[in-house]
Amino acid sequence: MVSTLINIALDLNGKVAKELRAFGANLVLLPDEIRENNGQLLSMDEIDKLKDTGRIDDVYGYAPYLYSIGKIEEQNVVIVGSQFENIKKTSPWWKVEGSWNDDNSEESTIMVGSKVAVKLGYKIGDTVTLNIREETDKKESYTEKTDKTDEIPVDGISSASQSLNGDAAKRWPLNILSEMNQGEYTPKQFKLVGIVSTGGSEDNQVFIKLKEAQLLFEKKAQVNLVQISVLTNKNPIEKTALQIEEQIPGTKTRILSQISKAEGNIQDKILFLMVLVTVLTLIGSGLSVMSTMTTTVLERRKEIGMMKAIGAQNKKIAAIFYAEAGAVGLIGGIAGYILGFLMAQIVGKSVFDTFIGFHLMVIPITLISTVLLALISSKIPVGQAIKIDPVITLRGE
């Protein structure tokens, strides 16, 4: 039990932080209202400023996203262009069967969401023909923001991506959109390298390399939004968000606040709970060792009386019982460690969906603490053993 808790506790800090980050990046960078109304996106040059840690601290990772829509075998899908090395950082929970798109390769590769793959019966290695919507098509009205889209000057800017842009932080990522039979489509072949499952809307999307997407969607060096992972332990996320807005003019940020606030809090609470459980467990096992040792002393009071009668020193009698308690503690510790390690794995698997790491330190900590616990809990029973009066116990029948 103790071993389980120590094992988990040691792993907890990193795990919870990762777990919470797994809810998604905690900040989204978007074009501001003015740009939005002009249909202007973010440029890669602007995004690169995020790397500039001299001016913007606490950015842990970021991934740019460019969206469009297309069809695969008459099914409407959202096409996402991104940098996959970065997604690995901002969204570490993605499970990819097969391999990721290689950001640097020249090959046209695609990863599809697991639901898309199931629906269309795709396997890794298949060739996927993606019909990409012509970006010059100006009259689109399939989104909720029809009225707004209509007002926008539209040269070269798709209303589809426009609407994605504006509402993305709220609704992102998108599901397969409703019927969109209007417009023209250009077919393009991709090699399917990976199947993405996240349990979220990514399962309904398809993913291609950002550079290729920018080319195909005719959005050279532009993206709709950037997902940012910001560390919150040093500065409040609001501060970092403001800093970013200042450093990159023409942008606004949206904080996905429930995550970042929770991060510090939950960790403290879980740790406190674990410490509490550990302490209670220690007290409980201490009491049980104590009662076991008391029983032992009572059962052997005649032996103890005899030992004292033949001249045994108190410390030698005490040593016998402490040695016994220590041995029990050690055996209990070893058994407890093995059980605890397995338990930690089960807890880790079911709660965090990952295995708890192996900490070498847990072995000595567990063994020393169980032996110490056994010795300390034996103090009172051993005291009783020493007080036994041989005159009385030897007389007993």
- Give the footprint of other proteins on this chain (CB under 8 A): 302-303, 305-314, 316, 390-391, 394-395
**CB of residue 389 vs other proteins: minimum separation in angstroms?**
9
Nearer to other proteins, 177 or 312 (CB): 312
Nearer to other proteins, 13 or 313 (CB): 313
Please give the single-letter amino acid code of residue 108.
Answer: S
Secondary structure (DSSP) of 182-227: -S-EEEEEEEEEEEEE-SSGGGGEEEEEHHHHHHHTT-TTEESEEE
Which DSSP category does 50 fall into?
G
Which DSSP category does 348 fall into?
I
Nearer to other proteins, 164 or 304 (CB): 304
- Per the document, the length of the chain is 397
**CB of residue 371 vs other proteins: minimum separation in angstroms?**
23
Nearer to other proteins, 305 or 329 (CB): 305
The dihedral of CA 92, 98, 103, 109: what is its sign? negative
**CB of residue 303 vs other proteins: minimum separation in angstroms?**
5
* CA–CA separation, 137 and 160 (whole Å): 10
Nearer to other proteins, 236 or 390 (CB): 390
Beta bridge partners, 206, equal 79, 112
**CB of residue 284 vs other proteins: minimum separation in angstroms?**
29
Nearest partner of 169 among 239, 228, 88, judged by Cα:
228
Two tokens, residue 311 = 């001249």
**CB of residue 309 vs other proteins: minimum separation in angstroms?**
6
**CB of residue 375 vs other proteins: minimum separation in angstroms?**
21
Nearer to other proteins, 249 or 311 (CB): 311
User: Cα 86 to the chain's mean position, in Å?
Assistant: 16
